[in-house]
Every structure is written in structure tokens, then in C-alpha cells.
């Protein structure tokens, strides 16, 4: 096999070829911006266990999975504009048991496959260590981890002020998933032109005040809050996640100034968003870093959290734990529970406590 451009770290500027035309042409547009993810990738790739060669001494390139489609994984090599359509090698093994073998965001080692067509093809032979992850509980009897995206550094929880109304229980689940996966959480309330901002600000006070989470209010329709949002995302790889129809793809389009993501309208009959984005994709952000669009999630099943540990993720409960009479207190039915007492006294937000009960109970199922 002829060796093509496989020196790791060597700058390559191969002209981007046509790759993915059936449904949309986002990959071509994506590849135009030259390795904007590079600086952030470098940071997170320092701890990966990948080498330039495999055991047989065969040359290998390193890159990041930007998207998946069917059985293909779309990999952008570091230091290159190309997008390589890769399959995963049969011998690929994961260093994580009970987890996704490959995920968007993964840093991978791949080998090029020589072939007739003008598509760039490859085989993923190794997966690097995941520095962060946004995961949920996989479907099936046994609990497995389904990685939505790896190696991002921020999670922007996107909800809308109305159509559909924001869901605080889901926000609480996202906060747990973010902490578990090592992601910094931010909250975005979009479609703010539909509601009274002061009311929502007050309703979400516990997040900004007690939990110190940045809340950004936006309206793509009226172009409100896009500057502050952009500022919060610059230089990071941020994954946008939230229910369907809240405006995740619309926000990405507004921020990148291009029509890259498909957006959809909310059904007037059910007021529920129709799912428009069908898979996870990372898009380079013009100021560095990247944005990952994800399909809307109605629920976020938490993975690998013991019901007794759920309370430790509610940091607004932190000041009170040590005052519970029983050290094994679950804060549900025990007497002399400092958490319940704090709720009664108005020192812990009632909705957060209800969320805790709901989550702890769901983890027991």
C-alpha cells in the first residue's frame, strides 16, 4: 500500500473532496475551516494513550471523530482539513468496559485505506482515553454507558422559555451527568421573547445563586443574548443538549452565521418539538473550539449512580448534610433530617428537593 501523508504532526493541506451528498452537505462546509479544533484537541489529547504506530509497526494517523452516520465514523486528522470516512476495525477494543466502543468526540488512531473512488476512507484501529463524557444509561437490561459525546469541556443545557416550557427536573439530571462526566455546565434559556425574563430569572435563582451556574437568556428570533453566549463558548468544545424543539440547532446556526444545521418547527397541536437533528455532530467554531449539536432528549437516564449517592450531586444540600441525625440518612423519610428541615425553612429550594426524590427513586428501579 502506498503511504499517503501519514507522518503524524506533519501539516497537510489536501483539498477537501466530496463526501456526503445524499442528505446534506454539512461535512464539506465543516471541513472548510482548517483544524479549528486543534488547539483544544491538543489540550485533551495529551493524556491519550495513542502511538504513531501499531504493534506491527504500521503507520497510523491520529484524529477526532466529528460525526457518525450509519456504520461510518467521520474523522478529522489533527493538522488537516480532511474528513476521513472510517469504519471501525473488527479488532478494535475499548479500554472502558460497559461503554460505547466509539463515540463522537473520541480521539482515534486510524489507518488509511487505498481505494479507487475519490472518497477518503480509513479504518479506526485505536481509541484514546476519554477525558470527559456526556453519557446516559443505555437501553437494555444491563446498565451500560452510552456516550453521547466525549472530550468536550462544557455542556450547554438548552431549554426554552416556552414552546416547550423548560423542565427543571431535566436540568437537574443534566447537572448530575455533567459533574459525573467532567463537563462544566452552563444553562441557556432560549425563546426568551415569549416569556417574562424577570419571572424566569427568579424561578431559576437557585441555579445562578446557590450553584453558581451561568444562565444565558437568548432569543434566536429577536437576536437577543447571542453575544454573551458566544463569549461563554469561545475557546471551548461545548456540547448543546436539551429537549427537542428548544432551538439548539437554531442557536448554532446563529452563532456560526451559517445555515449548517437543519431546524424544525414546533407542532402547534402538541406543542412538542419534532426531532430534527438526528445525530451528534461537532462543528468548528470560528473563534476556536467547537460546538456539538445533538438530537433532542426527552429524558436523561442516569448511568452508574447509586441511589444513596444521588444527594451528593445536589450541592445546594452540602451545608446541611452533617446535621442529619443519622449518618446513613437518605433524606426521604428519616426523622431529624437536616435536608428536609432546610426545605421547610426555605433554605433549600423545594423544586430541587422534589427533583432529588424523583431521581433517587428512579435510580432504585
Q: How many residues does the chain have?
A: 365
- Chain positions 316 to 335 lying near Zn ion, rule: CB under 5 A, are 324, 329, 331
Question: And the C-alpha cell for 111?
Answer: 489507518
Which of the stretches 15-23, 61-69, 145-153, 190-198 binds ligand GTP when contact is defined by CB under 6 A? 190-198
Q: Does 225 bind ligand GTP (CB under 6 A)?
A: no
- Scan residues 219-278 and list those touching Mg ion (CB under 5 A): 248-249, 276-277
Nearer to Zn ion, 199 or 326 (CB): 326
Contact map string, positions 277 to 296, toward Mg ion, x by CB under 5 A? x-------------------
Based on the shown chain and the rule CB under 6 A, indicate whether residue 275 belongs to the binding site for ligand GTP. Answer: yes
Q: Shortest Cβ contact with ligand GTP: which residue?
A: 296
Which of Mg ion, Zn ion, ligand GTP, none does 265 bind, CB closer than 5 to 8 A by kind? Answer: ligand GTP
Q: Is 248 in the site for ligand GTP (CB under 6 A)?
A: yes
The CA-CA-CA angle for residues 360, 178, 300, to 5°, reads 55
Number of residues that bind ligand GTP (CB under 6 A): 24
247 is a contact residue toward ligand GTP (CB under 6 A): yes
The binder of 300, among Zn ion, ligand GTP, Mg ion, none, by C-beta within 5 to 8 A per type, is: none
CA distance to 193, 221, 278, 324, per residue, from 273 (Å): 18, 16, 13, 43
Tell me the three cell numbers of residue 131: 477525558
What does 329 interact with, of ligand GTP, Zn ion, Mg ion, none (CB < 5 to 8 A by kind)?
Zn ion
Q: From residue 72, give the alpha-carbon distance in Å to each of 23, 116, 215, 296, 359.
A: 15, 18, 36, 22, 35
Q: Which residues contact 203 (CB under 8 A, 6 or more apart)?
A: none
Distance from C-alpha of 155 to C-alpha of 186, rounded to nearest angstrom: 6
Residue 184's binding partner among Mg ion, ligand GTP, Zn ion, none (Cβ under 5 to 8 angstroms by kind) is none
User: Would you give the end-to-end CA distance of the chain in angstroms?
Assistant: 53
| Chosen residue from 67, 213, 266, 302 binding ligand GTP by CB under 6 A | 266
Is residue 238 part of the contact set for ligand GTP (CB under 6 A)? Answer: no
Compose the 291-320 pattern: x for residues touching ligand GTP by CB under 6 A, - for all others.
Answer: ----xx------------------------
Instruction: Kindly provide the residue ranges of all beta strands, DSSP E only, lying in the chain, ordered along the sequence.
Output: 61-69, 72-77, 84-88, 107-113, 121-127, 133-137, 145-150, 154-160, 184-190, 215-217, 237-241, 281-284, 290-293
* Residue 248 is a binding residue for Zn ion (CB under 5 A): no
The strand pair at 133-137 and 184-190 is best described as unpaired
10 Å Cβ neighbour count for 133? Answer: 26
Residues near ligand GTP, by CB under 6 A: 190-191, 193-194, 219-221, 244-250, 263-266, 273, 275-277, 295-296
Judged by the rule CB under 5 A, the positions of this chain that interact with Zn ion are: 324, 329, 331, 337, 339
Amino acid at each position: 500500500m502506498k503511504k499517503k501523508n501519514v507522518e503524524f504532526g506533519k501539516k497537510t493541506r489536501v483539498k477537501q473532496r466530496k463526501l456526503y451528498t445524499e442528505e446534506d452537505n454539512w461535512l464539506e462546509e465543516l471541513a472548510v475551516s482548517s483544524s479549528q479544533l486543534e488547539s483544544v484537541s491538543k489540550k485533551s489529547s495529551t493524556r491519550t494513550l495513542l502511538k504513531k504506530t501499531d504493534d506491527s509497526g504500521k503507520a497510523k494517523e491520529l484524529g477526532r471523530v466529528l460525526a457518525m452516520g450509519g456504520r461510518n465514523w467521520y474523522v478529522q486528522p489533527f493538522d488537516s482539513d480532511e474528513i476521513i470516512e472510517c469504519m471501525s476495525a473488527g479488532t478494535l477494543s475499548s479500554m472502558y468496559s460497559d461503554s460505547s466502543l466509539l463515540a463522537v468526540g473520541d480521539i482515534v488512531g486510524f489507518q488509511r485505506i487505498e481505494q479507487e473512488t475519490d472518497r477518503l476512507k480509513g479504518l479506526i484501529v485505536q481509541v484514546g482515553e476519554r477525558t470527559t463524557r456526556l453519557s446516559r444509561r443505555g437501553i437494555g437490561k444491563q446498565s451500560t454507558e452510552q456516550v453521547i459525546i466525549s472530550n468536550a469541556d462544557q455542556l450547554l443545557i438548552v431549554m426554552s422559555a416556552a414552546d416547550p416550557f423548560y423542565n427543571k427536573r431535566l436540568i437537574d439530571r443534566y447537572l448530575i451527568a455533567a459533574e459525573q462526566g467532567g463537563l462544566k455546565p452552563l444553562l441557556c434559556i432560549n425563546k426568551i421573547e415569549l416569556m417574562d425574563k424577570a419571572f424566569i430569572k427568579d424561578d431559576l435563582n437557585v441555579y445562578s445563586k446557590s450553584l453558581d451556574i451561568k444562565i444565558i437568556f437568548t432569543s434566536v428570533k429577536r437576536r437577543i443574548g447571542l453575544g454573551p453566549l458566544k463569549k461563554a463558548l469561545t475557546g471551548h468544545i461545548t456540547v448543546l443538549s436539551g429537549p427537542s424543539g428548544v432551538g439548539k440547532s437554531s442557536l448554532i446556526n446563529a452563532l456560526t452565521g451559517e445555515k449548517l444545521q437543519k431546524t424544525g418547527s414546533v407542532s402547534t397541536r402538541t406543542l412538542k418539538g419534532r426531532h430534527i437533528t438526528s445525530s451528534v455532530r461537532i462543528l468548528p467554531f470560528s473563534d476556536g473550539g467547537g460546538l456539538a449539536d445533538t438530537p433532542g432528549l426527552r429524558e436523561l437516564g442516569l448511568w452508574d449512580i447509586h441511589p444513596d449517592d444521588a444527594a451528593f450531586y445536589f450541592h445546594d444540600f452540602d451545608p446541611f448534610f452533617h446535621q442529619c441525625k443519622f449518618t446513613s440518612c437518605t433524606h426521604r423519610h428519616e426523622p431529624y433530617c437536616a435536608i428536609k428541615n432546610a426545605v421547610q425553612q426555605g433554605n433549600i429550594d423545594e423544586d430541587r428537593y422534589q427533583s432529588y426524590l424523583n431521581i433517587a427513586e428512579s435510580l432504585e428501579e
